Amino acid sequence: MRYLAIVLSAAAGVQAARQCSTTTGYTHRVLDARYDGPDVDKPGSDLATISVSLSSSTTPLYECVAQWPESWKGFHNVTEKLIWSDCIWTGAGTGADKSMAFAVDWNKKVVYLAHVFACSDRQGTEGLATGTLPLSDLDCDYTEDGSAYCTPKATSSGARPDLRISTILEPAAPDANTASCSDISEQYQSWTLEKWHRQFVLTPGTFEPKAGTDTGPSFTLKSLGVHGATFTCATTSASVGPFQGECKSDVAKAAATFTFDPKLNILTVKQKWDCGNSAALETVGVGYMQGTCDRGFNSDVFTCSSEPVLIGTEAL
């Protein structure tokens, strides 16, 4: 059994890669896209849901889902940055990516996509590719109770439109030890978030963590915009949300802080790079964290974890 497990994980490692020395980029078919306004039957819920299903051919490979208060239109209301959200691999076919994330500007009706993968032709390196898709032709319907849902307009023959998102490789990130602030500001900034961990007690029959039991999140951030900068983040505030936290960096010039709203599952990351002469470069990323929480066996302790998640920054 042990042997089998090793073989399988090695095989998965080989599959989760893409050619990086390509100039044509990568194409993702959008099999389905749907926007749902708040469910007016649910009192107190003002959340809009957007979902996009991606594939390389006809089988859905990734399900991308995000939720935010409808009035935000895809942008965090405090930082005014795009909200990135994880695309979950369905397990059908072979995923070529380490993580895939999307964001939607609902004012402009544009979908943004970013994905990170191992380079099959440059062992030990990772590629980040980004792209956009305008959803200009949408059909929106309103249910009797007034909530909206929108889908891409069908073709004149009634077929699904052929929607594709093309992404292209971002230039290789400058090295953390030698990068200047101008190098960094020219590079698209994003991170892979790993080792998401949060714990709380949920008394049976209740829906809110028991007072004083929520640890808040801890995680690591690996910069994709500055090669070799990694942050270790932990909650420093009291055990009620929204949580505040600090990230320790392995690069002296870099620091980061975060806030996490457990009600909306919105994580905000602020990276600061010391540019000398008391100037600093600040980069803000926002992610919708749908880390799942599992109840321990015979226990009321919930533990939340997540696969690696890509957190992007402002529009590409």
- # of chain residues touching ligand NAG (CB under 6 A): 3
Q: At closest approach, how far in Å is the CB of 257 from ligand NAG?
A: 18
* By the rule CB under 6 A, 77 interacts with ligand NAG: yes
Q: At closest approach, how far in Å is the CB of 225 from ligand NAG?
A: 27
CA 192 to chain centre: 9
Q: At closest approach, how far in Å is the CB of 237 from ligand NAG?
A: 17
* By the rule CB under 6 A, 180 interacts with ligand NAG: no
Q: At closest approach, how far in Å is the CB of 263 from ligand NAG?
A: 8
Interface positions, 56-75, toward ligand NAG (CB under 6 A): 69
Q: Pick the closer one to ligand NAG by CB: 77 or 203.
A: 77
E strand map for 42-107: 47-55, 62-69, 83-89, 99-105
Give the closest residue to 87 by CA, choosing from 165, 20, 9: 165
Q: Pick the closer one to ligand NAG by CB: 72 or 231.
A: 72
Alpha helices in 168-252 (DSSP H): 181-186
Q: Pick the closer one to ligand NAG by CB: 11 or 78.
A: 78
Q: Pick the closer one to ligand NAG by CB: 231 or 260.
A: 260
Q: At closest approach, how far in Å is the CB of 190 from ligand NAG?
A: 23
Interface characters, 196-235, with ligand NAG (x: CB under 6 A): ----------------------------------------
Close Cβ partners of 169 (under 8 Å, ≥ 6 residues apart): 20, 22, 25, 127, 128, 129
154/50 Cα distance (integer angstroms): 18
Count of residues making up the chain:
316
* By the rule CB under 6 A, 78 interacts with ligand NAG: yes
Q: What is the 3-state secondary structure of 233-258?
A: EEECCCCCCCEEEEEEECCCCEEEEE
Q: Pick the closer one to ligand NAG by CB: 6 or 78.
A: 78
Q: Pick the closer one to ligand NAG by CB: 36 or 183.
A: 36
Dihedral of CA atoms 285, 290, 296, 297 in degrees, nearest 10, equals -160
Three-state secondary structure call for residue 8? helix
Instruction: Summarize as ranges the residues that interact with ligand NAG (CB under 6 A).
Output: 69, 77-78
